[in-house]
Amino acid sequence: MSPSLHSILGADALAAFETQAPVARGLPAVAYTSEAFFALENERIFADSWVFAGLAHELARPGDVVPVTVAGRPVLLVCDVEGTVRAFHNVCRHRCLRLVEEAGNVGPTIQCPYHSWTYRLDGALHIAPYFGGRDPGAVPAGFDRAEHGLVPVRAATWHDWIFVNLNGAAAPLEEFIAPVEAHLGGLDLARMKHVVTVDLGAIAANWKLLMENFIEPYHVPFVHATTTEQPLTDHYTLNEPGCLGCAVDVSGEAKRADTLAADSRYLTLFPNFSLGLYLPDQVGVHLDVPLAPDLTLQRRAIYTLRAELPSAEETEQLARLWRDVHVEDQVICERLQQGRASAVADGGGVLSPVWEDSVRSFQELVVSRLR
Ligand code: FES
Ligand SMILES: [Fe+2]
């Protein structure tokens, strides 16, 4: 059992966060740096929510497997013989070894490297060789193979995006995604084709800083001066139950192909799903995987709604543009993390009531889930 929110933050910091005049404060630094806070988030947020965990097109053929980390725990995504994506705890039922280390295709069964216990793609234990003695098929008296299959994790897929819910208690996925669906504005995501995935590596910043940066438009004209042409005044925030984000309706004429001067929607589902819509025909998601208080893995998958996939050259240009945009954000997020080593950050900084109200709501969600 993790220590309580109150004992981690302290009464003074919690009271300061709740004070909203003349402007709201951000979360205190410890929320971004403490192992105890991170453990509490894993327990109360990531184990108790629909968590964005993988990309369905990477699990298209029976036997495709992708090991992932959810709430700090090893989880395995598997494409079964019917082509359905399932999730399991990625742990062998014999001695609890982390079963699969790398994404790939395992064929019809998943075999543990330690003593060769072998599981079918539906998780059933197929063989536990020599477990009961010298006969390869022997099992100890009373040992029921059916009770020692891989332990399933609830999983559901929306378009290319696989969500898992470790404790099985989240509302149906359709309810969870409805607030974002309401902002699609008639875009038919069923037409979406995957173009490219940009691996952004391990970022030395807390997962919340990456999410907060995605949902506030305040930084866009300053941080992305060369990669976007979206004036701040054309932006607005989206601050709704179940969907936090921001948007921009570009009023100017200059819409260049080599920048992001497009009408855009930046939508999130708490805790870690970020969807970007670049109208009329580009879609992107971030897959953020928190590994430690100050370390988050990030990938970006890019899709097109056009009938044709872009050429190899256009794809490369798109990947380059997005890598540049992300590097601009990463540098900032890592400096946000570094700033939290200072006592100055204990007070949480301050938030704009106009441009960072969605950040405030995100932080209130974190606090409310940890109480
Ligand atoms: S730990 Fe997997 S077979 Fe022994
Ligand atoms: Fe940004």
Closest atom of ligand 1 to 112 CA is: 2
| Share above pLDDT 70 across residues of the chain, in percent, rounded to a whole number | 97
Average pLDDT for residues 350-366, to the nearest whole number?
A: 98
Per-residue model confidence (pLDDT) at position 323: 96
pLDDT tier, 1 (very low <50, low <70, confident <90, very high otherwise):
low
- Pick from 56-70, 223-237, 283-297, 314-328: least confident: 223-237
Closest atom of ligand 1 to 116 CA is: 3
The answer to whether residue 261 scores a pLDDT higher than 70 is no
Closest atom of ligand 1 to 115 CA is: 3
Per-residue model confidence (pLDDT) at position 127: 97
E strands in 204-254: 235-240, 243-248
Per-residue model confidence (pLDDT) at position 267: 98
Cα–Cα distance for residue pair 281/156, rounded to 1 Å: 25
Per-residue model confidence (pLDDT) at position 224: 92
Ligand 2 centroid from CA 12, angstroms: 32
Ligand 1 centroid from CA 112, angstroms: 6
Q: Which of 68, 56, 83 is nearest to 301 (CA)?
A: 56
Cα–Cα distance for residue pair 216/281, rounded to 1 Å: 22
Per-residue model confidence (pLDDT) at position 259: 64
Average pLDDT for residues 208-232, to the nearest whole number?
A: 92
The DSSP symbol for 232 reads G
The preferred substitution site among 76, 90, 110, 112 for testing ligand 1, maximizing ligand atoms within 8 Å of CB, is: 112
Per-residue model confidence (pLDDT) at position 231: 85
Sheet harboring 282-292: ordered strands across? 193-203, 295-304, 282-292, 273-278, 264-269, 243-248, 235-240
Per-residue model confidence (pLDDT) at position 256: 55
Taking only the tens place, the pLDDT of each residue in 92-133 is: 999 999 999 999 999 999 999 999 999 999 999 999 999 999
Cα–Cα distance for residue pair 276/288, rounded to 1 Å: 14
- Protein residues with CB under 6 Å of any ligand 1 atom: 92, 94-95, 97, 112, 114-115, 117
pLDDT tier, 258 (very low <50, low <70, confident <90, very high otherwise):
low
The preferred substitution site among 92, 118, 125 for testing ligand 1, maximizing ligand atoms within 8 Å of CB, is: 92
Per-residue model confidence (pLDDT) at position 2: 76
The preferred substitution site among 91, 95, 109, 145 for testing ligand 1, maximizing ligand atoms within 8 Å of CB, is: 95
Per-residue model confidence (pLDDT) at position 227: 83
Average pLDDT for residues 242-270, to the nearest whole number?
A: 80
The ligand placed nearest to the CA atom of residue 216 is 2
Cα–Cα distance for residue pair 51/161, rounded to 1 Å: 10
Closest atom of ligand 1 to 99 CA is: 2
pTM for the model stands at 0.96
Average pLDDT for residues 296-320, to the nearest whole number?
A: 97
Ligand 1 centroid from CA 136, angstroms: 15
Ligand 1 centroid from CA 148, angstroms: 12
Cα–Cα distance for residue pair 339/301, rounded to 1 Å: 30
Ligand 1 centroid from CA 149, angstroms: 12
Residues 6+ apart with CB under 8 A from 135: none
Domain annotation for the chain: domains and CATH numbers:
51-157 (2.102.10.10), 173-370 (3.90.380.10)
| Share above pLDDT 90 across residues of the chain, in percent, rounded to a whole number | 90
Query: Reduced to 3 states, what is the DSSP secondary structure of residue 111?
Result: strand
Q: What is the mean pLDDT of the chain?
A: 95
